[in-house]
């Protein structure tokens, strides 16, 4: 695919994908549509904003006329949909925007893709649509969808719409479901950048419950290469789980961060758990490894060190994104726990 519409391309995963494509695939034209909400940041793409193969458009994926115009004007061959409200805590505080963006926005993109006969639609989804695991087993592509939060429910709904458009109208599509991403440019509401930011400034590290919630950690660059592999090689209609093969409890991750920064574990503060907190996610990524010859290239120990060092080297970026509304959000989430 040489002409892509990427939605949400200034957010964490989206901007890393844009950077990867423009750096490694010079024959690709990339149109980047982003609403620039709190998590979207043009600074994430500072050195690429004037790139000859990058067209940035500020706009809403729910604006059907805008999406249709971009597909026509740039002769788009594929859509990669990263655009989403994505934080579980925020979905608990206010679910409606998650329906508007994650379901309504995806539906608008699908209608435009169908009408303009786009050759491929890639929906970037999450392992959270599967629900929660006990101490045994892993999510496969055949695992039933049992979302437990408003966020994951909205993503599961969007996945169903993508599949429905494929079945009803023959829209060529793929769905990818990734485990927890980490790496450069991640907004510090998520676990790893939040803990790095607080530890750098000797602030308490708020840990939900007992801290033993288990996640499979995927370095964001590896996620981006997997999506590209899906674009290049995957048959239409296939769903792929993308995982980092790095299951770790939150407390272990936090202790690694503190050790790397030379900070004491006394900074850890256990706080009241959030409602409906899923105990464990674990991805079986054997299908994409077997069928598309992809596998993670970065171990967790390498990736977490790179990530911490990036935040240390980009304190200006970090200071900018945690100013203003972020502090109000942080106080709302953790002040009374």
- Rounded to whole angstroms, the maximal C-alpha distance in the chain is 57
Q: Which pair of tokens denotes residue 276? A: 């409906």
Residue with tokens 């970037």: 124
What is the rounded distance in angstroms from the CA atom of residue 171 to the CA atom of residue 78?
A: 11
Q: Which one from 85, 128, 216, 247 is the annotated catalytic residue? A: 128
Beta strands 54-58 and 78-81, pairing class:
unpaired
Q: Provide the angle, in degrees to the nearest 10, between the axes of the packed helices 220-233 and 12-24.
A: 60
C-alpha triplet 49, 51, 52: angle, nearest 5°: 135
Contact present, 95 and 19 (Cβ < 8 Å): no
Strands, DSSP E only, in 89-195? 120-126, 173-178, 180-182
Q: Is 182 a catalytic residue?
A: no
- Closest by CA to 8, choosing from 53, 44, 47, is 44
Beta strands 120-126 and 180-182, pairing class:
unpaired
DSSP state of 30: E
Q: Is 127 a catalytic residue?
A: yes
Q: Which one from 130, 151, 281, 311 is the annotated catalytic residue? A: 151
Q: Which one from 34, 60, 85, 127 is the annotated catalytic residue? A: 127
Strands, DSSP E only, in 44-150? 54-58, 78-81, 120-126
Q: Is 252 a catalytic residue?
A: no
What is the rounded distance in angstroms from the CA atom of residue 70 to the CA atom of residue 198?
A: 41
Sheet architecture: strand order including 214-219: 180-182, 214-219, 247-249
- Closest by CA to 84, choosing from 69, 99, 68, is 99
Burial class (CB in 10 A: 0-12, 13-18, 19+), 197: buried
Residues 6+ apart with CB under 8 A from 215: 179, 180, 247, 248, 250, 280, 281
**Residues annotated catalytic, as ranges:** 127-128, 151
């Amino acid at each position: 695919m040489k002409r892509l519409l990427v939605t949400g391309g200034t957010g964490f995963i989206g901007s890393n994908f844009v950077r990867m494509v423009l750096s490694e695939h010079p024959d690709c034209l990339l149109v980047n549509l982003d609403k620039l909400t709190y998590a979207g940041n043009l600074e994430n793409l500072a050195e690429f904003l004037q790139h000859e193969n990058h067209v940035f458009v500020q706009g809403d994926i729910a604006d059907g006329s805008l999406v249709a115009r971009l597909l026509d004007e740039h002769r788009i061959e594929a859509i990669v949909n990263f655009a989403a409200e994505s934080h579980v805590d925020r979905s608990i505080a206010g679910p409606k925007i998650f329906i508007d963006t994650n379901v309504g926005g995806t539906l608008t993109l699908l209608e435009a893709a169908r009408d303009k006969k786009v050759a491929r639609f890639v929906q970037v989804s999450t392992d959270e649509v599967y629900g929660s695991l006990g101490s045994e087993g892993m999510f496969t592509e055949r695992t039933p969808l049992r979302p437990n939060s408003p966020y994951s429910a909205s993503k599961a709904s969007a996945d169903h719409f993508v599949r429905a458009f494929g079945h009803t109208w023959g829209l060529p599509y793929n769905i990818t479901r990734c485990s927890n991403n980490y790496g450069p440019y991640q907004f510090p509401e998520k676990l790893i950048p939040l803990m790095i930011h607080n530890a750098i400034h000797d602030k308490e590290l708020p840990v939900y419950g007992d801290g033993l919630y288990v996640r499979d950690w995927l370095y964001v660059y590896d996620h981006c290469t997997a999506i590209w592999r899906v674009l290049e090689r995957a048959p239409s209609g296939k769903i792929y789980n993308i995982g980092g093969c790095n299951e770790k409890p939150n407390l272990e991750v936090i202790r690694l961060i503190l050790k790397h920064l030379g900070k004491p574990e006394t900074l850890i503060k256990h706080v009241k758990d959030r409602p409906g907190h899923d105990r464990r996610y674990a991805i079986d990524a054997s299908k994409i490894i077997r069928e598309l010859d992809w596998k993670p290239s970065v171990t967790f120990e390498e990736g977490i060190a790179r990530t911490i060092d990036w935040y240390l080297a980009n304190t200006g970026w970090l200071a900018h994104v945690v100013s203003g509304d972020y502090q109000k959000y942080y106080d709302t989430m953790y002040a009374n726990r």
